[in-house]
Structure 1
Amino acid sequence: MKEKIRFLSSGLVFLVLLGLILAPLQQVLARKSLAAPWDMTNKVGGFYNEEEDQFQVMFFGPSHAYAAFSPLELWEETGIKSYVFATQQQPLWATYTYIKEALKTQSPSLIVVECRMAFGDKDHYMEGDDKGVTFSYMDDIPLSWNKAELAWLSAPDLEGRLSALFNFMMYHDRWSSLSRSDLTFRRDQLRDPYKGFVMLPPQQAPQPRPASETVVRNAPLLEKNQYWLEEIIRLCREEGIELWLVKSPSNLELEEKAMLNTVEATAARYGVPFHDFNQDYGAIGLDETMFFDAHHLDALGASRFTRWFAAVLTTARPDLVPDWEAPEWTADLAVYRAALAELTGGS
């Protein structure tokens, strides 16, 4: 037993030392997404540079979260500060880790999880183009025990887990394409004025909404997704944080609705609030042209949805305290409004 403990301790020390040695190399070689609107390095990495204990509400999940919830819009309507800590196709086991990471520096009163990836059909995203999913949620969180645990969950074998944890294995061939910005890059200077929101340009192409309200059956979730959905519920309960499980407006497909019904049933079993906003287009004022593509709101749709969500939030949580005296948020809002007007022609 002592030999086993000694072996495990030695392995842990080795990984820590390896991480310290490789950290500078990883920072140089890692892919950096800094160009709007997909500047996810700013959005994820920038979260760690935000003032501590300022967000009363935090949003988590995949692209359906960061394309729908606009924290600046929410602040303008309510004075409530929030952040969208989301990544593309963020699986629920990554959402669990992102919540734990957020709680290192923030004390939200409410966590909102967008549930699209409860419908995911994979236990891992490490094959072919799917690797981009894993590295999008792994790359920009600092080395920590949380990150090591997430790497373990993200691949079926040791090689994949080490690659997820130490991404120089993924990006080692970037030497020939390195630029000056890679060498001068500073994570401690990252910041996202939109607080995690991705402002998608209008396409003006109608995206039909399936009649998902007609689907009343339940379809089972992948076992891993069901497990981590329930772990998220348990984590929020242990931390004393209210959790809302939601589906943002996304023209929900019929088979997705059957799985969403299972999410709703799980929420009911645990006494967790749940809402599918795909049933509220009329009340929100959304139409088929307010989508960037078939399943993501454009900037105008997100603005309209967030303003409507603000009323839902203040009705359900009148205890949330507004913070209007925030010069930095006022400045960021001005930048946001100018960008939104440019994208939408002032609509």
Structure 2
Amino acid sequence: MKRMSILLLGSLISVAGITAKVEDKVLISVDGKAYLTEAGFEDFLDQVKASEPQLVVYMQMDPDGIREQLLQAKKQEAIMNAWADKNKITEKESYKNRKAIGEQALHSMLVHQEFVEQHKSEPTDADARKYYEEQKIKDPNLGTPGGIIAKGVKFATEKEAKDFQARLKTEEHDIDALADKDKNLDIQDFGIISESGFSFVDPKIKENIISKKKFPSSDVVKVAENEYWVAVALDEQKPEFEPFDQVKDVIKQQLAGKKVEEMFEREIPKYEKEFKVKTYAENLKKQTMQPATHAGPAQEGKAAVAPSATRSQAV
């Protein structure tokens, strides 16, 4: 009974294999001959997903669309290979040279990938948390660091600036209300000013604004001769940051790139010493710069001469 079960199982596997082969649908053919089958396409997909993990994410979002794009890519490959066979491209010296260069480049790329895989270290949640706490005020991807909402008006004299500030105080620092009354006012919106954030505002104005603790308030700030600003600190915007769990994976991706850079800085010198690799830059042949020329090739030893315009071209 046991022997029969084994034989039956073997028969089923054989039949399944034969059936799969018979039912393996052709996806692309060239001159009536199968170029790519359904099974071959699935193998191709597995290889691509193994080498490009990001493709797995894309396929989850649009599996049919990605498969169609890859099938079209294989179709173009089939067309170009058929053209190459017809024209005996692989026998040309230019092809052989490019193939040799391409194989060397591919080898270098694959070795590079293997080296990274063998030596890299993945960022931990603790690494991500440390970055989050240290950089959330500086990194705009982690939220809004907050600051002081400010505006300003420039004047040529200190008296003009102080007179405007006095008017501003009577309006309880409602600078927009004053602007509605006086269309000649050129009010500059400074945006949100923070100590760590970048701003086009003059450093003297920025320093004055970020020192404010009461809102709204204003000061006259002398930036240069004949340049006085009434700097108005309107309100304080509190920092708002993305929750750590929502940005953790993004942070770890950023840190992964940094860890690879650090790994190369650490490992390459070690292997350079181990394998006794030396560079002899003094033996590198120096190249002289050739002067640029705009003239066409000379004919029969004569200097090239620009063709004269025909009568119809002459002005």
TM-score range, shorter chain: under 0.3
Q: Is the radius of gyration larger for structure 1 or structure 2?
A: 2
| Higher RCO by CA contacts (8 Å cutoff, separation 6 or greater) | 1
**Bigger proportion of residues as strand:** 2
TM-score (norm 2): 0.22
TM-score (norm 1): 0.21
